[in-house]
């Protein structure tokens, strides 16, 4: 069995929601369809789509969006990879933490309703992460509760840093932690392009650095701020899943653990390593030795499966292939940890057609 917790769904139902922020998909003169949010334009795209355009196989925006709107296209791709289920999130470029809170709250509601409808058309194979306007924590907490209790969301999808200027150690964020602990559901942390917040300079981010490098930095910052800020002491039951293999956390764990003891100002009450049971990571790394190192350093009990399905950096294959681990640990990474963490009811979950046929 295989459950992918990192998969984005840019659905037509929540695009074109604001005359400035959109978000919009627009066709450019070179044939590429690109996402625009405010002034910012995303130049990254899937390698499959880029190759198609280079072959002269372009499409209009309406056709592009229609493919996203039909779950059958996604389910077919999942079948090809042997994936039984996915938990979907809004693309991180569309979190709207930088927008006016009134619009951001409306947008979050629209996203959650749209995702829920899409998942309802998937024969039980698609689930969702809730989206919320974290720059407005009180109302965000209300939307998280609604999405999880009424729409079936499995937790919160969130960026790693900069929520309208706030960070995760800010006490104003406490309503978010309170509702997640009350629901016993995790936060899925996925960084976003900070350049989307730069206004007229949004497209000066050379080489998409705030995406390709910056997301990992923000995800590491999330880990650091939650611990140094004492958040996990105030909310010891908070559960956090950081994608992209945890940013830089597993590879600099010893450095973080040693230097935190030398800081003048910290609020954590325990050694850094003692907070690891609050965190989960995925093996979305391109090199097998690095994935193996993640298993050795973090351990199978703290790993879940996440691929960025279909994204620009997604590995087109099985992330557990070649890993040296017991059959029991392999099952934990592929699906068991996800079931426990997200409280997934296997009796209600669909299966990949390739596996059903077998």
Q: What local confidence, expressed as pLDDT, does residue 358 receive?
A: 38
Mean pLDDT of all residues in 237-262: 98
Alpha-carbon distance of 256 to 250, in angstroms, equals 10
- Mind giving me the DSSP string for 262-276? G-SS----S-GGGGG
**Pair of tokens at residue 133:** 């306007």
Give the per-residue pLDDT at 210: 95
Class of domain 3-357: alpha beta
Whole-angstrom Cα distance, residue 348 to residue 330? 23
Which token pair is 95? 């979190």
CA nearest 227: which of 208, 199, 202, 246? 246
Q: For residue 7, what are its two tokens?
A: 């998969």
Q: What is the pLDDT of residue 50?
A: 82
**pLDDT confidence tier of residue 67, bands split at 50, 70 and 90:** confident
The pLDDT assigned to 9 comes to: 96
Confidence of residue 354 (pLDDT cuts 50, 70, 90): low
Q: What is the pLDDT of residues 139-178, one digit of tens each?
A: 999 999 999 999 999 999 999 999 999 999 999 999 999 9
Phi, psi (deg, nearest 5) at residue 265: -130, 110
Q: Which helix (H) or strand (E) holds 280?
A: strand 279-281
Q: Where are the domains of the chain?
A: 3-357
Q: How much is the pTM?
A: 0.96
Least confident of 16-25, 54-63, 300-309: 54-63
**Which of 41-45, 307-311, 325-329 is predicted most confidently?**
325-329
Run of H or E including 41: strand 40-41
When mean pLDDT is compared over 31-40, 176-185, 346-355, the highest value belongs to: 176-185
- pLDDT tens-digit readout, 109-133: 999 999 999 999 999 999 999 999 9
Q: Is the pLDDT of residue 87 over 60?
A: yes
Whether residue 355 has pLDDT greater than 60:
no
pLDDT of amino acid 173 = 99
The pLDDT mean for the chain works out to 96
Predicted confidence band at 323 (pLDDT cuts at 50, 70, 90)? Answer: very high
153 or 56: whose pLDDT is higher?
Answer: 153
Q: What does the pLDDT look like over 183-227, one tens digit per residue?
A: 999 999 999 999 999 999 999 999 999 999 999 999 999 999 999
Q: What is the pLDDT of residue 43?
A: 86
DSSP code, position 316: S
Identify the pLDDT of residue 356. 46
Is residue 12 pLDDT above 60, yes or no? Answer: yes
Q: Are 28 and 60 in contact (CB under 8 A)?
A: no
**Average pLDDT, stretch 55-83?**
92
pLDDT above 60: residue 325:
yes
Confidence of residue 357 (pLDDT cuts 50, 70, 90): very low
Q: Looking at residue 227, what is its pLDDT? A: 99
């Amino acid at each position: 069995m295989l459950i992918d917790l990192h998969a984005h769904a840019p659905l037509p139902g929540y695009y074109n929601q604001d005359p400035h922020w959109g978000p919009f998909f627009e066709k450019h003169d070179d044939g590429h369809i690109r996402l625009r949010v405010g002034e910012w334009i995303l130049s990254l795209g899937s390698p499959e789509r880029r190759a198609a355009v280079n072959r002269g196989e372009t499409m209009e925006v309406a056709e592009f969006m229609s493919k996203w709107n039909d779950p059958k296209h996604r389910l077919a791709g999942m079948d090809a990879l042997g994936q039984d289920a996915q938990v979907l999130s809004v693309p991180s470029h569309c979190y709207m933490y930088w927008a006016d809170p009134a619009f951001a709250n409306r947008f979050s509601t629209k996203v959650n309703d749209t995702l829920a409808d899409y998942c309802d058309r998937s024969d039980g194979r698609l689930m969702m992460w809730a989206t919320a306007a974290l720059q407005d924590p009180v109302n965000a907490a209300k939307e998280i509760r609604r999405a999880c209790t009424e729409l079936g969301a499995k937790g919160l999808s969130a960026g790693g840093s900069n929520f309208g200027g706030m960070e995760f150690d800010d006490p104003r964020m406490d309503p978010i932690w309170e509702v997640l602990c009350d629901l016993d559901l995790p936060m899925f942390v996925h960084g976003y392009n900070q350049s989307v917040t730069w206004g007229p300079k949004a497209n000066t981010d050379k080489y998409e650095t705030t995406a390709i490098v910056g997301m990992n930095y923000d995800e590491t910052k999330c880990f650091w701020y939650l611990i140094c800020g004492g958040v996990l002491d105030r909310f010891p039951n908070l559960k956090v899943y950081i994608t992209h293999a945890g940013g830089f956390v597993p590879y600099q764990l010893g450095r973080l653990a040693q230097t935190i003891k030398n800081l003048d100002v910290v609020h954590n009450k325990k050694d850094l390593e003692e907070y690891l049971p609050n965190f989960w990571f995925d093996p979305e790394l391109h090199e097998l030795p690095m994935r193996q190192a993640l298993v050795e350093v973090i351990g199978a009990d703290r790993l879940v499966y996440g691929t960025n399905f279909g994204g620009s950096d997604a590995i087109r294959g099985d992330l557990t292939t070649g890993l040296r681990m017991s059959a029991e640990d392999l099952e934990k990474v592929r699906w068991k940890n996800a079931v426990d963490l997200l409280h997934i009811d296997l009796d209600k979950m669909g299966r990949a057609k390739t596996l059903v046929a077998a």
